[in-house]
Amino acid sequence: MPSVIASVVGFSIFGAVEGFTPIFGVLRTPQFHHPSQLLFYALLGIAAGLVARLYARGFYGAVRLTDRLPGHIMLKPAVAAVLVGLIGLALQLNDARVVDREHPTVSVGDRLDAALDALVSSSVSWLPATDARRRVAGIVGLSEVITSYRRELRKNLQLLSRVGGATTLIQQIVGASSPLANHPVATVPFPPGSVVLSIERGSQLLFPDAATVIHAGDVLSLVAPARDGRELDELMRGTHD
């Protein structure tokens, strides 16, 4: 009974925080369309019963075997835990090949918006992050993505707090002939008091740093002194003389 109570309480707390969607995806089972499919379910039930019987015999057989083994009763679970860990290492359970191929993944180098798009489009609460060798390097959850966005937003708000006087918000597409194209943010001679807020590149929303390279076609959003607004707008479009 204590284990049942602990399981119910633990799952309830987890579901309240992370949601009650399946943790490891949804199992796709055949849909029932015709009574003839009942034969399949009957065979499946017989197979499940045989497997359950085999599991029970194996479980109690293992219990009887461990009872005959020498050693203290507290030492045997520790030995079993070590064996399970060794089996996990042997099977390389952290390899991306054990992940359902139909489950979406993100690469370690992907940006936050790519992870957010995958989470929203697939209606899952987490994504495995894989490295170049297709090995699982970590887990990206919706809460981590939101936290990172909040961190970047807080950073931009801190930059905005340093901007004083009459300012204007400029949002413009960087033209192919713009001198900003193919240059890092740090090398662009923006007027004093200017702050680059974001760069929209296709479906990606970037929060640039000094090393971020501006590309032609990027939608650049920044705040700058109002007196420099027109000049910056022409500079980004590439029509500045």
Rounded (10°) angle between helices 112-122 and 142-160: 140
Of residues 40 and 162, the one with the higher pLDDT is: 40
Please give the pLDDT value at position 163: 60
With 90 as the cut, is the pLDDT of residue 231 above it?
A: no
Please give the pLDDT value at position 96: 43
How does pLDDT run across 41-73, given as a tens digit for each residue? 899 899 999 999 999 999 898 888 878 878 777
Give the integer Cα–Cα distance in Å for 83 and 152: 44
Please give the pLDDT value at position 29: 58
How does pLDDT run across 176-216, given as a tens digit for each residue? 888 888 999 888 888 887 888 888 888 777 888 888 899 99
Give the integer Cα–Cα distance in Å for 20 and 8: 13
Which candidate, 113, 108, 107, 105, places its Cα nearest to that of 145? 113
Please give the pLDDT value at position 43: 92
Please give the pLDDT value at position 87: 81
